[in-house]
Structure 1
């Protein structure tokens, strides 16, 4: 693995130039997806703008941005959908965008998502470049861009914002910027419940660094960065900051609802969402095999879960850095083992970009022409699927 000091770090001259191919490729894929969505929507007499900004979760986010928390919908079956299920950072940014510009809250959310998706692409490149080199970093970004549900990266949803914060926090951890890593993890925890995965990655790296500096290896010459003055204090501060965002919001919800520390779980239960170890998802998948047409969908689900599992195991075998494995494992487990919203699982897996590292490394080893052809073909298919998906069931 190349020495980290030889890589251009963000903030240093040449960093943007080094990441430029990845960012330009990402922008091209996203532009293709948006063009496909616009054409498909126009053919169906629908508004692509509405699909991106004013449906599903984006409506809840913009409502919180406009009027604060307190809105809920009571369904005939007794379920209560409360806006407290949605973490506050994206609505805060939407409110800020609407306050300093003529944009509506929904349009401000779209702008935040578009900018955050570029920040996420840069962060993903930085992580990939650090682990496997520049070429693999570019391939990692492009693979993340061409995922079948990649259109969500361009919606007024929180996935792009969260992925940007997570990617840069992981990069900061890997480069010993503990306070930066903890601060970004805190912000990620204010964005989505799975922000705890970022905090866990910071903690795992911090504990590992402590063990390295206190273990037998330290007596034989630990890395200079591990023994730098104040390193332990900065590491401890980063670890302290990391979980505060998610924990703070969850505790605030519990105080607001009067249900204590577990109030947020009750809010999620009102949405029929929880963690059951994947039992409900397994039943849902098994039910697909009761008839022939749906059996194809069931087989696709099984293959998809198997692929995710294989990619994670491959990452473990290739000894990917511990923070990446911890982060990815938690994101994947929470996505696959949630008890509701089965159609959302591909979207919930979007932040688990380190899963793609083994594929990115393989693609980076291929000839440029072959890699470009593969990515281009998948990009076209992804753009068409995204347009079809958003004009149909979409991401609930």
Structure 2
């Protein structure tokens, strides 16, 4: 943004320091003048008349006063310039870092040494902002690469099926249609999930009062047939949990959590427990499930798009790898958090904490 040239902050501080010093000097000189003139008037023979000695004193005092004021001016300008430079040195480093960041360099940090003050607090805040932006950009790049790969896969499969059908006239057309339908349905699911993820990240939704316990109950009822088909026991209980946000997105959050818990579970005798509760200023939704043991280092990566646990098997209902990513995005869009903790006996405990309405 273009701005007309102006005085630098260092020069402004220098002039301010010199002006303050000159003002203090003038006040001191004025005070001395008052006392000197009063004393001279007291010893003079007539008011307004001075003896030759008194006149000499006055003539000597005036040049001395001018010399002192001139010295104060030069000293104030030189000292103010040096002091302003030392005080603004951290700001120069912050400005240089901001200029480098504006060109796309996000890996550098200011790391301003010394004890805490306003400049160092600003530098530390700027370093944290750069770290978050760098992590976000890296995450977006990984997401773009993974999304491109995931979207390319169904297209490549469809192309291969069509090529086979073109070269093999005896190929069963019903089987081709069924397989193309499956591939196309997966591509549609992936595209819809990506749109939901982008919508949540932009926070472009209408907020209203939502009872998180009713949302969890609806998700459980919807997915009960899937749990029964997989032999998973599904239990839900909890207290009223009033939140404020999008009922659609919060239902999607609960549904993804419960579906994730059902799909990634034990082959036999698995269980899923859904609970809601309210605390001081927050509401909590917890979904806990049995399953294979997860390494602690794997759990934090499960909220990244298209990430699945190393021992998780992709099945027909395994989704497109965006379930927990959408949950995390929806929670953050509602100023909440998603916490994932591996259970010692195997499985996962997912806790969503949102501000209470």
TM-score (norm 2): 0.24
Greater RCO structure (CA 8 Å; 6+ sep): 1
Structure of greater Rg: 2
Higher helix share: 1
TM-score (norm 1): 0.22
